[in-house]
Amino acid sequence: MEYFLQQLINGLTLGAIYGLIAIGYTMVYGIIGMINFAHGEIYMIGAFVSMISFLVLGAAGITWVPLAVAVVLVVAMLFTAVYGWTIERIAYRPLRGSTRLAPLISAIGMSIFLQNYVQLVQGARVKALPPVISDVIVLAQRADGFKVSISYLQIMIIVLTTALMIGFTQIILRTPLGRAQRACEQDMKMASLLGVDVDRTISLTFVMGAALAGVAGVMVTMYYGVIDFYIGFLAGIKAFTAAVLGGIGSLPGAMLGGLTIGLIEAFWSAYFSVEYKDVAAFAILVLVLIFRPTGLLGRPEIEKV
């Protein structure tokens, strides 16, 4: 029971990170119907930017943890947002209205480019950062000494994710930008006829998704402490799995999917085998697409001729 509780906490933390990345996929897919293959790389860049910012802050002597974390979060969101905007502007916007395949190929090319760019400028070796927050709260203790603990970091990740989720849901539901996004999602041509600036709306969607991936990058840097240029690929596919699982285009669905994938991965590693945890995640993707292609919270897609 204690072991189970510990895995539940770990799984929720992992799931929160996947969920944040998944939101980027789901928003972009919802609005222009393409898989932003380079999204995982944005998350990787967010992790690198946050690591660099922690080092700079450390060198500057800012050691009060809440301030440092807040600064790093803002910095990472800013830089990943710029990356998101630029990628959309360079690689996707010229291809809008082209064949369905072209943006996907362009996105794969962009993903390969970003991976190798980071490898070139930052080196291929694994980077390790000492933990920033390491205090834990012990929740329960078993007779044989096994402790169930939740770290302050895990609490921070879960609270921050919840806050961001609420905030973004409110943006989508209540602001003019969110209204424009929902309009573009339904019918881009009609929205532009009614005065919605479609290009700007799509750009902002990419910016929002990228900023959330940046936050996920900060979290993973603090949580695992080791990053390299290749972490974006797997995390990207898993987050996409989460988006599909939750029902693509649905914000709460992305979060739900992320949590499910995180929990499955945590429990699978704990009770079966660590080696095959990725297989478990992919198997879920395949099963969901076969038996419930619309995902948990998605609406069925109408076939148009």
Partner 1 sequence: MAGAGTPPSDFKAALGEAAAAGGIALLLTLPLVGMRTLETSGGLVIHPHFADVALTVLLVFLGRLGLVLIEAGRGGAVLAAAAAMVAAGWLLPFPTEALRGIALAGGLVVALRAGLALRSRHSTLTQAERDRRMDRVGARLQDASRLIGPVAVLFALVLPFMPFANRGVIDLGCLLLTYIMLGWGLNIVVGLAGLLDLGYVAFYAVGAYAYALMATTFGLGFWVCLPLAGIFASLYGLMLGFPVLRLRGDYFAIVTLAFAEIVRIVLLNWTAVTNGPVGIAAIPRPSFFGIADFTNSPAEGHLAFHQLFGLTFAPVHRIIFLYYVILALALVVNFFTLRIRRLPLGRAWEALREDDIACTALGINRTNIKLAAFAIAGMFGGFAGAFFATRQGFISPESFTFIESAIILAVVVLGGMGSQVGVVIAALLVVGLPEAFRDLAQYRMLAFGVGMVLIMLWRPRGLLAHRDPTILLHLRKSARQQQAESEARG
The rounded distance, in Å, linking the Cα atoms of 50 and 76 is 6
Phi and psi at 22, nearest 5°, equal -60, -30
Query: Minimal distance in Å, beta carbon 258 to partner 1?
Result: 16
- Give the residue, chosen from 122, 149, 169, 203, that forms a contact with partner 1 under the rule CB under 8 A: 122
Please report whether residue 114 would count as binding partner 1 according to CB under 8 A: yes
Q: Which stretch binds partner 1 (CB under 8 A): 6-14, 42-50, 138-146, 177-185?
A: 42-50
User: How many Å separate Cα 275 from the centre of its chain?
Assistant: 23
Q: Which amino acid is at 2?
A: E
CB of 8 to partner 1, least distance (A): 25
Say if CB 252 and CB 297 are below 8 A apart. Answer: yes
The 3-state DSSP class for residue 151 equals strand
Cβ-based neighbours of 71, under 8 Å, separated by 6 or more: 53, 57, 62
Taking the least distance from each CB to partner 1, the nearer of 106 and 154 is 106
Residue list 12-41, contact with partner 1 (CB under 8 A): 29, 33-35
Say whether 149 sits in a helix, a strand or coil. strand
Residue 5 C-beta: closest distance to partner 1, Å: 28
In the complex, the smallest distance separating the C-beta of residue 239 from partner 1, rounded to whole angstroms, is 12
DSSP SS3 for 133: coil
Distance from C-alpha of 126 to C-alpha of 147, rounded to nearest angstrom: 30
Query: Binding to partner 1 (CB under 8 A): which residues in 243-282?
Result: 244, 273, 275-276, 278-279, 282
Mark the segment that binds partner 1 (CB under 8 A) among 10-18, 162-170, 207-215, 236-244: 236-244
| Number of chain residues interacting with partner 1 (CB under 8 A) | 72
Nearer to partner 1, 113 or 267 (CB): 113
Q: Which of 71, 74, 113, 160 binds partner 1 (CB under 8 A)?
A: 113
SS3 227: strand
Q: Rounded to the nearest whole angstrom, what is the least distance from the CB of residue 160 to partner 1 in the complex? A: 21
In sequence order, which residues have a C-beta less than 8 Å from that of residue 193 and are 6 or more positions away?
A: none
